Structures are given as C-alpha cells and as structure tokens.
Structure 1
Amino acid sequence: MTTSVHTNSSALIALQNLNNTNSKLSSTQNRISTGLKVQGAKDNAATWAIAQNQRADTSALDSVKSSLNRATSIADVSLAAGAQISDIIVELKAKAVAAADPSASEASRKAYDDEFQSLLKSLQSFADNATFDGENILNGTNAAVPLSFLASADAQEKIDLNRQDLTLAGLGLAADATVTPNVDAPSLLETADAEAALARVEQALQTSNSRLAELGAQAKQIEKHNIFVGKLMDSLEVGVGNLVDADLAKESARLQALQVQQQLGAQSLSIANQAPQIILSLFQ
C-alpha cells in the first residue's frame, strides 16, 4: 500500500460514508417534521402521482358535498312549507264541509267563506316564500325543469330535485279564465258552491300529498347520497395517508440510529485525517 501525503483514501472513504449518513439523517428529519414519507415527486414519483390524483378527487368531492348540502337545504325548506300547505288544505276541507251543510245560515256561510279565502291566501304565500338561496321549487316557476345537483367527482353524474307546483293554480284552487267554461275561484257562499269547492279541495289534497311524497323520496335519496360521498371522502383521505404518511415510530428509531452513525462517521474521518502524520515519524 502506497503511503502519500497527497491522497488519503481512508479519509475519502470515511467522508463518503459520513455524507451518506448525513443525507439519510436529513431525509429522516424531514419525514419527522412533515409527517410525510413522500413529500414530492422526487421522493417517489409513482406514489406521489397516485396521491395527487386522489387528493384531486377528494377536493372535487368536497364540491359535490357542498352541492348536495344545498340540495338538502332546499328540500328541507320545501318540505316544511309543503307540510304547512297540506295542513291548510285539511282546514280548507273542514270549512267546505261545514259550509255544504244545507241547514247552515247565510251568516255562517259568510264566516266560513271568509276563513276559507284567508286560508287560500296563506297557502299561496307559503308556496311563494319557500325559498332557499334564491331557489323555490314550489311556486310553479319552470315546473317542468328539475333542479340538478352534482353527484360525482367528474361532474358527469347528477341528482335531480323535481319542482312541485303547490300554488293555488298548481293545486286547482285558483280561478282559471283560460279554460272553457271558465273556472271561478272556490267560494262557500252558496251550498252548491261549497259542494264544488269541497270537490276541488279533495282533489288538491290528493295532488299535494302525491307531490310531497315524491319530494320526500327525492330528499331521502339526496341525503343517502350525501352520506355516501362523505364516507367516500374519508376512504380517499385514509388511502392517501397510507401512501404518503410516515410511520413516526419507525422514523424515530431510525433517527436515533443515524445520529449514532453520524457521530461514529465523524470520529472515523477524524482518525483517517490523522493518518498522514505517521509519515513524520519516518524522518526523525
């Protein structure tokens, strides 16, 4: 083996080993400080790409959940108003039945009719004011066009909330001059009028119950889909964690071992650097 003051191979090897240990130690410290074993494409390109795709899906599903939450709120407001409308129709039927009594006096029918007309106005008011975030699905506007909401991360799947016309016109309780013969607004002032009003109210009750049942079924579907999206987001988050999260227990143990290796490497380099001094003893 050649002894030289110009080239210290032992020191070079010791330095390489120390640099390698320092690099591993730096990576371990980064994993501990960030909690991630894959922080970027440089750490593991394939795993990072998969994780980024899953993060994108999770972010998109967050928008889907916001859309479904809005759908739930619109449905809840509409169902609350619809329940009130249904209760009003029940009251309307009671007034119409009372006014259809042949023995009822004119004054009694006038009182029943006053209440009846007041209830009709309340019904229309509830339908007109069942609004959430600018959307009303009970007032008869765009009745044939459903309200659609996001249902998938790629925005290709939609979930619909059908508009249900619960206005006086939609329930057949309003005057209608467009048909022949013309249909007057229901009245209880005469026995025949009360009987005709009762028939229209009974039909309105069936119509409202059918439409509210459909609305309730769609609201339940939206609720279940919202729960599914929430669970899907949780699963994706766990999946990303499995790919990129560091095992801090293992990293802590690795940190201790690398710190010892670093100290030993530094001592080894120090010993190797002192080796050329042995040459001085040859010239004494």
Structure 2
Amino acid sequence: MSSILTNEGASIALQTLHQISLNIAGTQQEIATGRRVSSAEDNAAVWAISQTMQADVQGYKRVSDSLSLGSATLAVARDASETVAELLTEIKGKIVSAQGENVDRSKIQSNVDALRDQIGAVVEMAQFNGLNLLKNSDTDTGSGSEAVLGFLRRDSLGVTGADIDIGKRDLTTNASAISASGGSYTAGAASATLDATQSGTLDASGVAVETGMGFTLSIFGTDADESRFVQDDLRTTTATAETRAEMATAELRYVARDGDGIGDVMTALARKWDDYAAKAGIDSSVLSVAASGTGLNVSSSVTDGTDTIAVNLNTVSADADNTIGGGLEILAGIDVSTATGATAALTSIEGLLDYTIAASAGFGSDQNRLETQQKFNDKLSDAMISGIGTLVDTDMEEATARLQALNVQQQLAVQALSIANTAPQSLLSLFR
C-alpha cells in the first residue's frame, strides 16, 4: 500500500541516519578524550572500578612522598653514624698512641676530648625535618621508633595505611642514673654463684623490660686470703645482696630505652662489665661476663669450693623516674692520662666501635627496606595505571576504523533517505 500521508521508508531511513549520527558523535568523543568510559553514564560498573583504582593510585603517590621523607631522614642518620664511627676510630688511634711510655698523655687526652666533643656535635646536627634518629632517651612508650607510611592495604572493610617502623639508635654520651627511691626494687632478679663449677648463667628471660626500667649487675667475691683473686676488686657491694642505695651509685648500670628487649639489656650490661673490668684490671680468667640471648654467661677459672664469686642482676621499675643514658655513655669516662687508663680505654673503645658500627648497619638496612618498598610501590602504581587504561581508555586504531565505517554508513543512510523521500512522487504518474 502506498500513501502520500505516511512514508514508512523515509521514517526508517531517518531513524537509521539518526542512530548513525549518534554513533559518530560517540566515537568522535572517544577519539577526542581518549576515553571510552569517561563518566558513569558510559558504563557505571567500569567507571566505578576505575575511580576506585584511580583513588588508590593517588594514595600511593602520597605513600611515595612519605617513603622519600623517611629515606632522606635515614640517610642523614646513617651518614652521621658512619661519621661517628670514623671519629671513634680516630680516638682509638689516639688511645693506641697512649699505650707507649714516652708520650705526652695529657695532650693525647686533649685530642680525645676534642674528638668526643665533635661526636656530640655530629649527633646534635643529625636531624632531618626536626627528627633525630641518633637520640633515644625519652621514656614515652613508642618514642624509640618512627612510623613511616609504607603501603596501603585494601580489604572488605576499606583502605588502611600500613606503617614501617624505623628504630632509633642512640649515639649520645649522656650519663644514665638510677633513682635512690620510688618504684619497685628487686634484688637478685637473676643470679649465679661461681664456685667449683666455675660457670653459670643469669637467666633473665622472665624479666619484663619497661622503658626507663633500671638494671644493675652486682659482684660479690669471697677469697679471704686472696690466694686466687683480690677480694675487694670483685666486690661492688658490701654484701652478697645489693641494697637500693648501692644500686643508685652502681657503675654496672643500665636504664632501658624504648624498644629494648631483655637481650639488649644483657648486651649493654656485658659491655659495661668489660669497661669496668678493664679499668679495675680484672682478667677474664678471673671473671668473664658475656651476653647470650636473654641471659648472661659468667665464668671463672679461679673459683673453687671456698673462693666464690656471686653475680646478681637487680632491677627497679620505670616509675622510679630513672634517667636513660646515651649509647656511647662509656665514652665520657675514657681517660688516657695514666698508663692504667690508657690500657682500659683500649677495651672500652672496641665496645663503642662495635655498637656504633651496628647502629650504622641498622640504619643502612632500614634505608634499603624503604627504598625497596618505594620501588615496589612505583611498580604497583604503574600496574594500576595500566589496568585503569585497559578498562577506560579508547583503542584508537579500533575507534578510527569504526569512525570511517560510520561515515560510509552515514552517506548511505542519507542516500536511502533521499530515495525514500522521492518514492511518493512515483504516484503522480498514475494521474497522467
């Protein structure tokens, strides 16, 4: 049936042309913006996923900034600790020079004092953005480490930041102090008596360490005729059990820093003993104290059933208001002005060098950890950006080919519409 009022062919052609024009407009927009999904209207599910991933990418950029700041802070601390190690090596050279007889020890001591002051200056300047990782004498919980935002963790509950803790390593020379009153005092928290057995262990695994908690090592030797050792040299207390007053003045003391475990305390006390023994001229055969995990191994080759040495670990709780000392506290007591002092100093400086080198190595390990994490975060961000592109970016080759095809379809649709519009004119021939 033909009609001059309704041209169905033209209507169909017009609808086709309209749809092709819409497709052309959409394809041109994809090419112009580079996105095939640029809003929720295009594809709600894909757009939502891409927006979430894009937010994560922005978050990782902030994480990268945090890691860069942490790495820079660690670099300053590591360089400073390495400088301190070099200065301690110089001090060791001065101490070695002081071992000779025909030397001016007073001048050598002046050089040692100058180098010690330089170490203090280096530690004071070793800060980045107000943070100094070479100081750790605060009693607040958590003050012994700094948190660096390391990565983001996404789960069903949302996104949370995960920190990487960077430990402080004290290289100051401040003196520690144990309060003479307050807190809870425990004499003989761990003990061992050397007799004919000649060896023992102070097991401190049951001692809970608190920041600011005080520890002392007390020695009480018994050799009435002094046939095996000088009794007074091996008595840091007036009786086997140390009194609270004696603890406050003890040389073999340590006040725990934040982050210390019982192993750190044992290592520090063993180092204090080495320094004490060197100054007192106590040979290791008479008494040796070595840290071993959560305890101290003590031994002597001169004790027997009569001549004994009692070694006790004593504690006072943190609420006694003790003062935390510096990691290089022993350095302040080095004195090479006498032959005996020069000999003792050689032992002391070795322990300080070992401690400082370990601190430098620790900073280096932490720095490598942050740099490794940063590299991983950068790779993860690149992978996420690539994934977002796969979801929403336009395939330019495919879009260009589609646009050319649509242009051809548009031309054909225009011709079809033109033919459909001329169809009613053929009815006029019936009236001729």
Same fold (TM over 0.5): yes
Deviations 1:164-188 (CA, angstroms, capped at 9, x unpaired): 111223xxxxx66766267864333
What does residue 120 of structure 2 align with?
124
What does residue 40 of structure 1 align with?
39
Alpha-carbon spacing, 1:177–1:63, altered in 2? closer, same or farther (3 Å): closer
| Aligned equivalent of 2:163, options 118, 134, 158 | 158
Q: Which amino acid in structure 2 is aligned with residue 110 of structure 1?
A: S
What does residue 417 of structure 2 align with?
269
What does residue 249 of structure 2 align with?
180
More contact order relative to length (CA 8 Å, sep ≥ 6): 1
- Which range moved further: 73-82 or 262-271? 262-271
Q: Is the aligned partner of 1:239 residue 2:387?
A: yes
Correspondence 1:90-239 to 2 at 5 A: 90-104=89-103, 108-140=104-136, 142=138, 144-153=143-152, 154-169=159-174, 180=249, 185-239=333-387
| Aligned equivalent of 2:407, options 259, 267, 273 | 259
Q: Which amino acid in structure 2 is aligned with residue 193 of structure 1?
A: G
What does residue 2 of structure 2 align with?
2
Instruction: Give SS of 1:151's match.
Output: strand
Instruction: Give SS of 1:139's match.
Output: coil
Instruction: Give SS of 1:156's match.
Output: strand
Q: What is the CA–CA distance in structure 2 between the aligned matches of 1:176 and 1:98, rounded to whole Å?
A: 30
Aligned length: 275
Q: Is the 8 A contact 2:2 2:424 kept in 1?
A: no
Deviations 1:95-136 (CA, angstroms, capped at 9, x unpaired): 1121232332xxx21221221111111111111111122211
Deviation at 1:191, TM superposition (A): 2.3
Q: Which amino acid in structure 2 is aligned with residue 164 of structure 1?
A: R
Q: Which amino acid in structure 2 is aligned with residue 62 of structure 1?
A: K
Q: What is the CA–CA distance in structure 1 between the aligned matches of 2:381 and 2:409, rounded to whole Å?
A: 42
Q: Which amino acid in structure 2 is aligned with residue 195 of structure 1?
A: T
Q: What is the CA–CA distance in structure 1 between the aligned matches of 2:172 and 2:430, rounded to whole Å?
A: 112
Q: Which amino acid in structure 1 is aligned with residue 392 of structure 2?
A: V
Alignment identity in percent?
35
What does residue 214 of structure 2 align with?
none
Q: What is the CA–CA distance in structure 2 between the aligned matches of 1:86 and 1:191, rounded to whole Å?
A: 25
Higher strand share: 2
Q: What is the CA–CA distance in structure 1 between the aligned matches of 2:177 and 2:46, rounded to whole Å?
A: 69
Deviations 1:172-214 (CA, angstroms, capped at 9, x unpaired): xxx6676626786433322233334333322211111222222
Instruction: Give SS of 1:39's match.
Output: coil
Q: Which amino acid in structure 2 is aligned with residue 242 of structure 1?
A: T
Q: Which amino acid in structure 2 is aligned with residue 270 of structure 1?
A: S
Instruction: Give SS of 1:112's match.
Output: helix
Q: What is the CA–CA distance in structure 2 between the aligned matches of 1:56 and 1:177, rounded to whole Å?
A: 51
Deviation at 1:28, TM superposition (A): 0.8
Deviation at 1:27, TM superposition (A): 0.9
With the length of structure 2 as denominator, give the TM-score of the two structures. 0.60
Higher helix share: 1
Q: Is the 8 A contact 1:74 1:131 kept in 2?
A: yes
Q: State the superposition RMSD in angstroms.
A: 2.1
Deviation at 1:283, TM superposition (A): 4.3
Q: What is the CA–CA distance in structure 2 between the aligned matches of 1:89 and 1:49, rounded to whole Å?
A: 60
Q: Is the 8 A contact 1:99 1:188 kept in 2?
A: yes
With the length of structure 1 as denominator, give the TM-score of the two structures. 0.89
Stretches of structure 1 that go unaligned for 5 or more consecutive residues are 170-174
Deviations 1:58-79 (CA, angstroms, capped at 9, x unpaired): 1111111111111111111111
Q: What is the CA–CA distance in structure 1 between the aligned matches of 2:77 and 2:177, rounded to whole Å?
A: 29
Q: Which amino acid in structure 2 is aligned with residue 241 of structure 1?
A: G
What does residue 85 of structure 2 align with?
86
Q: Is the 8 A contact 2:135 2:172 kept in 1?
A: yes
Deviation at 1:139, TM superposition (A): 2.9
Deviation at 1:275, TM superposition (A): 2.8
Alpha-carbon spacing, 1:240–1:176, altered in 2? closer, same or farther (3 Å): closer
Q: Which amino acid in structure 2 is aligned with residue 42 of structure 1?
A: E
Stretches of structure 2 that go unaligned for 5 or more consecutive residues are 153-158, 179-247, 252-329
Deviations 1:134-181 (CA, angstroms, capped at 9, x unpaired): 211013354852111112223432111101111223xxxxx6676626
Q: Is the 8 A contact 1:100 1:192 kept in 2?
A: no
Q: What is the CA–CA distance in structure 1 between the aligned matches of 2:26 and 2:137, rounded to whole Å?
A: 62
What does residue 172 of structure 1 align with?
none
Instruction: Give SS of 2:19's match.
Output: helix
